[in-house]
Structures are given as structure tokens and as C-alpha cells.
Amino acid sequence: MLRCQPCRSFFALLLLSGSAASSAAATPRTSPPAGLRENTPSTHALKGARLVIAPGKVIERGTLVIRDGVIVAAGAEVTVPPEAREHDCRGKTIYPGFIDALGELSAEASKLGASDKRGAGYWNPKVTPQVDAATCYGIDAESNEKLRSQGITARIEAPSAGIIKGTSALVSTADASGGLAILKPRVALHLMLTPSRGDDLYPKSPMGAMALVRQAFYDARWYADVWQAYEMQPGLPRPERNDALAALQAAAAGKMPVVVRTPDELYSLRAHLLAKEFELTVILEGSGREYRRVEALKATGLPVILPLDFPKAPRVVTPETAMSVSLEDLLHWDLAPENPGRLSAAGIKIAFTTHGLSDAGEFLAAVRKTVDRGLSPEAALAALTTTPAELLGVGDRLGTLEAGKIASFVVADGDLFDDRTKLSETWVDGERHELQPAPLADLRGTWEVQLAKPDGGTETLTIQLGDESNKLTGKIKRGEQEVALTRASLDAAQFSAQFPAKSLGWEGVLQLSGTISIPPQGEPPAEQPPSWLGFLVWSGGERSPCSARRAAAYDEKQKKQQEEAAPSKDENAAGEEKPPDKTSKTKTALYSVNFPLGAFGVFGPPEQPKAVLFQHATVWTCGPAGVVENASVLVREGKITAVGADIDIPADAVLIEAEGKHLTPGIIDCHTHIATDGGINEMGQTITAEVRIGDFIDPNDVQIYRQLAGGVTAANVLHGSANTIGGQNQVIKLRWGALPEELKFSGAPPGIKFALGENVKQSNWGPGTRYPQSRLGVEQVVADAFNAAIDYRRRWNEWREEPTGLPPRTDLELEALVEVLEGKRFIHCHSYRQDEILAFLRTCEQFGVRVRTLQHVLEGYKVADAIARHGAGGSSFSDWWGYKFEVYDAIPYNGAMLHRAGVLTSFNSDDAELARRLNLEAAKAVKYGGLSPEAALHFVTINPAKQLGIDRRVGSLEAGKDADLVVWSGSPLSSYARCEQTWIDGRKYYPGT
């Protein structure tokens, strides 16, 4: 058990004290000494170690010299200063100290900082960038000790409360005073795109959190501009002072990193969009699931701080427990340890953190696991040292063993990424912390013991001592007989051992005890071996004197051979031991990554043939050609090029024989809530026009896959109906396996959700405080919002014409409403009762606003003429009602009556399950209302396409439109018909391959 052996000469220490005091200045401090001034030697030389200067840069045998907590030299030919305290580190490896790239203040400290009411804060209490972790940090000695045991010498401490939480500090893991513990204040701004829990304040949804963050950064820009204008133009009204917006300036200007928490890989892509919009320097706080979208993450160019809380093996030991484990869970368990290696191989910068681990003491073992699973040792060391130092702006102080850097490093007894290697010391700011205090002597080796027996004779015994897991082990021999020691230990200078003596020809259990004789100071143990004097205690209690000397040194090669031959304790999912992998050290996952991960994932988009010909089908064009028997549809590169009975078969076409089958346009759902991540309602305010469904599209939603099986190819994903004016909608194509931005229907006109009735006034929510609480209030909220948008537009128009005075502030809520006023954003309004419908249409007409669709509109048949005159469409249920009081007057003839009154009508699902059968919902317009089958099919194809403003691209089978189409086994309005194929953009998404 070789250790770094410090010089123990008391007189030498006294000499070095005076020399150090005279040759080097101690760290300057403002506080006076509490007693006598200390002159502890501050110059150290660690000699003979293997020095890992930086990842990929190694000196096999060198010396590291530090003075006053700073590295002054590191190399093979280093002159040791005469005042240095020397440490023999032969057989050791020294690494730069590790940096924990992310940690959080305690909840109490964060809450204290966020709740400070002094100064001028932001209007929303969840935005607190002015909270500075350096002013809230308190030393946690227990945590520091645990981190040092893992080689961590510095860590980030960030506020944990709020959405924009505040700025972090880089702190030392030494138990120094607070002033010395702070290595760098205001390192980075930390934020998350999810709502904080435990209150009813806005925002209450991820899309609300994103909108709030965006608004705060727009406000930070405005704050800088408005104060600049005020200072340059005397006589202007004084702007408000805001500590939060002032604190945001550095991050908003790209001069301070912004660490964004990403609960999964989709949040990483959202953080990238935020970074692009505001030109932020973003660092991702990873989730450990980035491997699911490595290429997309690589394209962002953003670095990632990775947690190492790998999942434990799922319990699948019985059929019952196995049933509760999904394929996705099993795949994640298998793939998660490869996450760092896959990201590093893709060229993505990574840094490691203990954050997320239930026990920080498991950190180094987790790092080693990443190396076992494909991460190169150099990349792993960089993730612990140089990369976090660079990302956190301290690369000139930490991360390598170079002169001028802080003397924070780790001493190990072997290669860092070998499971058998132990860390013996962690030096922090030049202060030594022994993790496993060095014994007074290394007792490993072969010992000859001279025993004085009770009968007066002498006998020679042989003891062989080694170590395992840093504990003494061994055996004792008497002639040709031997037995293993059941216990062996060294406590200070006292050696003791115990063994059963029967196999040696004696009785009972015997004990050995001896006092070690320490070699003279300055002579390494290998040159002057220790000896000991003591007793052997017989089973009857008698004692026999004995003495021992080491006859041979311990053979390290023999130890490693024995350990390598030992069986592996790695466990598989069933909890059984398995033999070590003898073919390769690096293990790999059992299966490849699909998208989305799990049972229905794919490995990429379906192939898009250059040409596809669907022939001999009954084609429901939903266009001017109507229904064409025995017809063909030709598709080239995702577009329909011809529809008719006589189409020449191109030589390069893929032929789809559809004789006896029916071909229709893809079904379009005008009202759905699938594929949203984190909820569909931002209920924190009655107007949330600033939130965007498009920010939180979820391509992993299995409902996309299921609805493809029902022929749905496009859908209008709407905000919920909890608000008078809700969030902005997103039209998508159901491209299963695509990224969020790839799902979006490019060129679809933007829209927004309005709502009327019981949901808005919170009829079933119990006692409420949010305005409005009545239908009268709902109408007034809409009118007031439109008036505010008019004033906002006027102020901006005046500024653009003559930019004098204080610049106007960008308001994301009013920006969306100005688009409504100008007809650039469609209104889709949740509605039921005739009186509310009429009141809403009249209010909109007062402001020159036209409603695009009335959603649900179950009493629309009562006022169909007024709806038609206004020009609004109606997107209704076929026969769904009775679920609350305001829908009691609904009838199944509503759709047909609206249609005959001249209202552009569609049927929607508003339900993930119902969306799989929208063709049958359309058929109900034939049963209830007597519409022709062709007109009824329009309710779920061309009509919703027109309502959403995408009819130039989809909704009918016509030349020039997107090849979004469905092959049915029979008439699409028959309950016996089955969707056999669903194509989007000329790619077959259902059934998949």
C-alpha cells in the first residue's frame, strides 16, 4: 500500500517554515489572526509521479512543485526549491483536479435569495436573474468531503428556485472561509423551460415558461435601449429601474453563458431555438437521454453538461414484474451508459456533473462505467477537467497541471479509469486532503517471523502479506503447511493478525501482535524495510515473544494477475452474475437507437420513391373531378402530378395495385391536442396569446403513429380552452419519427385559440379569483385586448416613422393580437351556445376581425345564417354532447344544417382515440342530414384544409398538391373499411417497415 510519503522530520519542518515565510507571501486576507500567526510551509514538491498534465499529455516520471496554492512547475526536469516539503510519489499518478460542472444551492438558500424583496424585481417572481449564488453560498463540509473523495476540487453552485433562477458561482471544495471558497462569482445564468411547482402563479406550463423567458430577454433588450435613450435625450420621462433586467444584460449580450435545464433531448432542441432567437451562449444541462437524437444535437453545436445517474437494471425476474417494464425502459437501461461516448464521438463537447446522483460518492464509478461503454479515457478526463474549465470561463486557472494554475489535483495509485485504482489524496488550492491516510509502513511482502516457543526452542514462520480493496490480506506458513489469515490490520504502529492453527499442527485460533519499527526519516520504505517485535498469543492465553523482518518486497504484477483472474460481479437485468467479457473491454448496447425510442420507433424517414403510381382504384379526389372509378394517381418526388383513368406508367415508378380499393386524400383533423409536451393549457392568466404550442411539439407521442393507422395525415394542434384568449396553435403533418420542427406544416397560416363559456369563466373549478367569472366578463376581456393591441400597434408605427423619445417595449402577447387585427393570424374559437357565438362575432366585427373557425359550435344550427354572413367556418362534433350543461341543446344534424346554410363545415376529433376514426365521423353526416357520401368526406379532407388555409397543398387529390393520401380496403365511409396505407409527401408512413 504505497502512499505519498511526506518528510516527517520535525526539525526540517521548522527550517522549512522559516524559509517559506521568507520566500513566499501567504494568501492576503482582510481578517486579523485569531491568535498566533501561522507560517505553515506552503511550498511542496511531489516527486517521481506520473503526471497527467492534460488529456493526452503525460509525463511518465516527473515532479510537481506548488507554492502558495499555485503550480509553479510540472515536468521531468524540475529543480526542487530548497524550501519545498518533499513528497515521494513513486508509483503514483497525479491528475488535474476534477470540476463538477453543475450543482445547486440548497432549497433554503435559493429560496432566501429569490424571496429577497429589496430592490426592484421583475413583474413575475419566477424571474430572478439578480439572485447571485456567491452571496447565498454557505460551506457544506460534509458535501465537500464527499466530493473530494471523488477527486472533485471545484464545483458550480447555482440557485435552484424559479424559471430564470439567477447566476452561479464556482466554489472550491476546500473547507475555507466563504471569501476564499468562491473561485469565480457570476459564472453563468441558469434557467429552465418548465414551470416551478408548488404555486398557482403564471406560468403553469412549459410553453408558458418558454414565453416568459422570451419576454424577459426582450425586456432586457428594451431596458438597455430605454435607459440609453433617457440618458441621451434630456427631458424624457424617467424609465423604471429594474434589478432583474439589469442583471440579464450580460447574458442577453452573449457575454455570460446561459445554462438551460433540459429534461429530455427535445428540450435541448428548444434551448437551441432560444439561443438562436436571442444570440445567447447556451450550455445544455443534459438529461442523459441525448443519445436518442445525437445528430440533431450535434447540429446545434451546443455543449452539454451530463448527469451520470444511470438507471438500475429493471426487475424482470418474474413474468409479473417483467410486464411492468416497457421496451423503452429496457432500451434506456442498456443505452444510457453509452450516452457520453456517443456524444463525444459525434464531436459534442461534454462535461460531467454529480447532479442527479443520489450519492455523490458514486461519481467516479459512474465515470468509469462510461469508459467501459465506449467513451475514450482522454475524452472522459477532458469532461472532468479541461472542458468544464473552458465552459465556465476558468481555463486559465483550472483544468490542467500547468504552471500558473491553481494547485488543485488528484493523486491516484494507478490509472484513473481502472476500477482497481484508488484515490489517495485530493489537493485543493494547495491544501492536502488525505482520502486514505498513508500507513506508517507498507507491510506488503514476505516476512520471516522468529518465534520463541514455550518449550524454550525457536521456530521460523513465514507470512505473506498483500492487499485487496485497500485492506491487508495474507497467509502464514509453518514448513510446508499454510493457512489464510482471517484478519490482518495495521493501526498506527501496531500490527495484528489472526488465523486458525489446526492445519499448522497447533490448537485453536492464534493471534499475532507486533509494534512496527519505522525506518529512519528520509529513507523510503523500499530501501530500508521496517521490522517489528511482538507476541504470538496461544489459544490458552500464553504468550511467546517473536520478531519479524521483511525478506522480500511485494510483487505488484502478481497482484494484478490475481485480480484479473477474479470473476466479474457485473449483474444483468435478471440480477444474475455473468462472466467478464474476455473479447473486448468495451461493452456495447444490445440494440440500435430508433426514433422514438421503443416498440414503434423507426430508424429514419420512409423512402420517397422518385415516382409512385396507384392504379385501378376508386379515387375520391375531393376536388372538381369528384369520384373517379378505375383511376390512377401518379406521384413524383412527393407531389401529385396526374389523376385520371389513362396515365402512362413511368419506367421508374413504384406500382401500387389498388384494384377494388379506394383512394382518398389524407384526413385532416381541424382540432386536436395530440403531440404536445407538458400540457395544452397555460391557465396562469386569462390571456396567454404569447404562448406557442409550436414550442412544445412532441414527436414521441404514440398517438401520431396510431392516427396514421386511421388515415390522418395532418392536424391542427390547439391550445386548450381554459383562457379567454389562449395560445398560438400549430398545424402539423404526422411524420412519425421526425423531429419537432420537421413535423410542422411549413407555410400553414398561424392561428390562435379563443374560448367562450364554462371553461373560461371556470364554472366547474370551484371558487375562483381569476377574472372573468362570467360570460359578460369574457366579452369585455376580448374587447379590451383588441383595444390594447390597437394602441400598441399605433405606438410602434409612430416610433418607426420617427424614433424619438423612449422606445416602445416588445410585448409578445400584444404582438400576436396585432397579427389577429391585421388578418395574419386566424382565430379558432371554442364555442357552444348561440348567444355567446353571436356576441363574439359582433365583438370581432367591431374591430374588423373575421373569425376563421368556430370550434365545436354545437348550437351553430340556431344561428347558422349569422355565422355564414360573418364568413366563419364551423368545426363541429358529429354527435358528441351531454357532457356538460352548455351542450344540452346539441343535435346530430348540426353539421349538415351548417353546411346547407353556406357555412364551411368540418368534423374534428378533439380526442386522440376518436381521431383514429374520423372517416366514420364523416359518414354520420350521411346518416344525420342526408349529405352525399362525397360531401360528407369533404368534412374531414378539403373543408378542414380550407379552414386552416392549407388547401393549396392538401385536402384533395389534384395535380400539384402534396402526395398525402390513403388507400382503403373499401369505401372510406363504410364501417367495414380498413386503412391499408397512409402516405405523406410521397412516403409511406403506415404501415411502417
> For 735-779, how does the pLDDT look when each residue is reduced to its tens digit (9 = 90+)?
999 999 999 999 999 999 999 999 998 877 766 678 898 899 999
**pTM for the predicted model, two decimal places:** 0.87
Question: Tens digit of pLDDT for each residue in 215-227?
Answer: 999 999 999 999 9
Q: With 90 as the cut, is the pLDDT of residue 571 above it?
A: no
Q: With 60 as the cut, is the pLDDT of residue 520 above it?
A: no
What is the CA angle 614-616-619, rounded to 5?
A: 75
Q: CA nearest 46: which of 27, 72, 23, 24?
A: 72
Place of cell 495495521: 490
Q: Are 201 and 458 in contact, with CB atoms under 8 Å apart?
A: no
Q: How many whole angstroms separate alpha carbon 159 and alpha carbon 132?
A: 8
Predicted local distance difference test score (pLDDT) of residue 39: 67
Q: Which residues contact 186 (CB under 8 A, 6 or more apart)?
A: 132, 134, 167, 168, 169, 250, 256
Q: With 90 as the cut, is the pLDDT of residue 586 above it?
A: no
5 phi-psi bin (left φ>0, alpha ψ -120 to 50, beta other): beta
The three three-digit cell numbers of residue 706, written as one number: 396510431
Q: Are 806 and 788 in contact, with CB atoms under 8 Å apart?
A: no
Predicted local distance difference test score (pLDDT) of residue 188: 98
Where residue 556 falls among pLDDT bands split at 50, 70, 90? low
Place of cell 429493471: 314
Q: CA nearest 691: which of 823, 812, 819?
A: 812
Q: With 80 as the cut, is the pLDDT of residue 389 above it?
A: yes
Q: Are 619 and 645 in contact, with CB atoms under 8 Å apart?
A: no
Q: Which residues contact 180 (CB under 8 A, 6 or more apart)?
A: 27, 29, 172, 174, 429
Predicted local distance difference test score (pLDDT) of residue 118: 65
Pairing of strands 164-167, 639-644: unpaired
Q: Which residues contact 33 (CB under 8 A, 6 or more apart)?
A: none
Alpha helices in 665-747, H assignment, sequence order: 702-708, 740-743
Question: Tens digit of pLDDT for each residue in 781-833?
Answer: 999 999 999 999 999 999 999 998 999 999 999 999 999 999 999 999 999 99
- The answer to whether the bond into 596 is cis (omega within 30° of 0) is yes
Q: CA nearest 263: which of 833, 677, 572?
A: 677
Alpha helices in 161-289, H assignment, sequence order: 178-181, 206-232, 243-247, 249-252, 265-278
Q: Are 248 and 129 in contact, with CB atoms under 8 Å apart?
A: yes
3-class SS of residue 595: strand
Predicted local distance difference test score (pLDDT) of residue 569: 42
The three three-digit cell numbers of residue 643, written as one number: 389523376
Would you give the DSSP letter of residue 624? T
437 bridge partner residues: none
Predicted local distance difference test score (pLDDT) of residue 26: 56
Q: How many whole angstroms separate alpha carbon 165 and alpha carbon 168?
A: 9
Buried-state track 795-808, b at ≥16 Cβ within 10 A, e below 16: ebeeeeeeeeebbb
Q: Are 187 and 392 in contact, with CB atoms under 8 Å apart?
A: yes
Q: Are 904 and 857 in contact, with CB atoms under 8 Å apart?
A: no
